[in-house]
Structure 1
């Protein structure tokens, strides 16, 4: 932890910053998984909208 003191004697504590890294492009199997998740999410939302319209 990094601590500073100003002229009034007030302490300021700063957390240590984590090391930065660049995100990696998702692999093919990860991309397929995201597509499948998107399809299921779309089906769920569509089903909920259609059920809501049919009930009202």
Structure 2
């Protein structure tokens, strides 16, 4: 928010975001994270094995 003081100076400050606490992921979200981690691990493993096979 831009404001101008009584002296005519511009005050440009970042607005502070509201603070909130994160919620613990539900069981469904945890399962999704597990599947995504397994797929990522498989993908990286295949990349490493492919690079070893090519070289």
TM-score (norm 1): 0.80
Please give the alpha-carbon distance, in whole angstroms, between the structure 2 residues aligned to 1:29 and 1:41: 18
In the superposition, the TM-score normalised over structure 2's length comes to 0.81
* Structure 2 spans left out of the alignment, 5+ residues: none
- The runs of at least 4 aligned residues of structure 1 exceeding 4 Å deviation read 2-5
Does the CA-based 8 Å contact 1:3-1:14 persist in structure 2?
Answer: no
Superposed CA RMSD: 2.0
Work out the number of aligned pairs and report it: 54
